[in-house]
Amino acid sequence: MGLDIFMAQLMTEDERTTRIGKKFDCICKIQCSLKLVSCDCDEPGGAKESKKYTHSLLKQGFSDEKAISLYNEKYSGRLRS
Ligand SMILES: [Zn+2]
Protein backbone atom coordinates (compact mmCIF):
# COMPACT_ATOMS: atom_id res chain seq x y z
CA MET A 1 0.00 0.00 0.00
CA GLY A 2 2.88 2.38 0.77
CA LEU A 3 4.22 1.98 -2.75
CA ASP A 4 0.74 2.51 -4.12
CA ILE A 5 0.47 5.89 -2.43
CA PHE A 6 3.92 6.81 -3.66
CA MET A 7 2.96 5.89 -7.23
CA ALA A 8 -0.23 7.92 -6.96
CA GLN A 9 1.83 11.01 -6.28
CA LEU A 10 3.61 10.56 -9.58
CA MET A 11 0.45 10.06 -11.60
CA THR A 12 -1.88 12.67 -13.01
CA GLU A 13 -5.51 12.73 -11.94
CA ASP A 14 -6.46 11.38 -15.37
CA GLU A 15 -4.14 8.42 -14.96
CA ARG A 16 -5.44 7.74 -11.48
CA THR A 17 -9.05 7.94 -12.70
CA THR A 18 -8.16 5.38 -15.37
CA ARG A 19 -6.50 3.15 -12.83
CA ILE A 20 -9.54 3.28 -10.56
CA GLY A 21 -11.85 2.73 -13.54
CA LYS A 22 -10.07 -0.55 -14.23
CA LYS A 23 -11.05 -1.81 -10.81
CA PHE A 24 -14.79 -1.53 -11.44
CA ASP A 25 -17.36 -3.02 -13.71
CA CYS A 26 -19.35 -0.43 -15.61
CA ILE A 27 -22.53 0.64 -13.86
CA CYS A 28 -24.52 1.82 -16.86
CA LYS A 29 -28.09 0.66 -17.30
CA ILE A 30 -27.63 -1.28 -20.50
CA GLN A 31 -25.24 -3.51 -18.53
CA CYS A 32 -22.55 -3.44 -21.15
CA SER A 33 -20.29 -5.77 -19.12
CA LEU A 34 -17.29 -3.59 -19.87
CA LYS A 35 -14.91 -2.30 -17.30
CA LEU A 36 -15.89 1.16 -16.17
CA VAL A 37 -12.78 2.60 -17.79
CA SER A 38 -13.75 1.22 -21.22
CA CYS A 39 -17.35 2.42 -21.30
CA ASP A 40 -18.30 5.92 -22.36
CA CYS A 41 -21.99 5.77 -21.94
CA ASP A 42 -23.46 9.20 -21.40
CA GLU A 43 -26.54 8.74 -19.24
CA PRO A 44 -27.38 9.93 -15.73
CA GLY A 45 -25.42 7.70 -13.38
CA GLY A 46 -23.57 6.17 -16.34
CA ALA A 47 -19.91 5.65 -17.03
CA LYS A 48 -19.09 9.17 -18.14
CA GLU A 49 -20.68 10.75 -15.11
CA SER A 50 -19.17 8.37 -12.62
CA LYS A 51 -15.69 8.77 -14.07
CA LYS A 52 -16.11 12.52 -13.89
CA TYR A 53 -17.12 12.13 -10.25
CA THR A 54 -14.03 10.03 -9.51
CA HIS A 55 -11.85 12.59 -11.23
CA SER A 56 -13.37 15.42 -9.18
CA LEU A 57 -12.69 13.53 -5.94
CA LEU A 58 -9.03 13.14 -6.89
CA LYS A 59 -8.88 16.81 -7.80
CA GLN A 60 -10.18 17.69 -4.35
CA GLY A 61 -7.20 15.85 -2.92
CA PHE A 62 -8.76 12.57 -1.85
CA SER A 63 -6.54 9.49 -1.94
CA ASP A 64 -7.34 6.73 -4.44
CA GLU A 65 -8.56 4.58 -1.58
CA LYS A 66 -10.91 7.27 -0.29
CA ALA A 67 -12.14 8.08 -3.81
CA ILE A 68 -12.94 4.40 -4.34
CA SER A 69 -14.97 4.21 -1.15
CA LEU A 70 -16.86 7.44 -1.94
CA TYR A 71 -17.50 6.14 -5.44
CA ASN A 72 -18.90 2.95 -3.93
CA GLU A 73 -21.21 4.90 -1.66
CA LYS A 74 -22.58 6.99 -4.50
CA TYR A 75 -22.89 4.39 -7.26
CA SER A 76 -22.67 1.15 -5.31
CA GLY A 77 -20.00 0.17 -7.81
CA ARG A 78 -19.11 -3.42 -8.33
CA LEU A 79 -15.47 -4.05 -7.70
CA ARG A 80 -13.91 -6.52 -10.09
CA SER A 81 -12.22 -9.37 -8.35
ZN1 LIG B 1 -21.33 0.75 -19.66
Calculate how far, in angstroms, residue 47's C-alpha sits from the geometric centre of ligand 1: 6
Q: 23: how many CB neighbours lie within 10 A of its CB?
A: 17
Query: What value, to the nearest 5°, has the Cα angle with vertex 56 and ends 39 and 42?
Result: 30
Calculate how far, in angstroms, residue 56's C-alpha sits from the geometric centre of ligand 1: 20
Beta bridge mates, 79: 24
Calculate how far, in angstroms, residue 43's C-alpha sits from the geometric centre of ligand 1: 10
User: Residues 52-72, buried b or exposed e (16+ Cβ, 10 A)?
Assistant: ebbbebbeeebebeebbeebe
Looking at per-residue pLDDT, the higher value among 24 and 1 belongs to 24
Instruction: Please check whether residue 35 is in contact with residue 24, taking contact to mean a CB–CB distance below 8 angstroms.
Output: yes
pTM: 0.81
Q: Residue 1's pLDDT is what? A: 54
Give per-residue pLDDT as tens, 3-38.
776 776 789 999 999 999 999 988 887 778 899 999
The percentage of residues in the chain with a pLDDT greater than 90, rounded to a whole number, is 54
Report the chain's terminal Cα–Cα distance, integer Å: 18
Calculate how far, in angstroms, residue 74's C-alpha sits from the geometric centre of ligand 1: 16
Calculate how far, in angstroms, residue 46's C-alpha sits from the geometric centre of ligand 1: 7
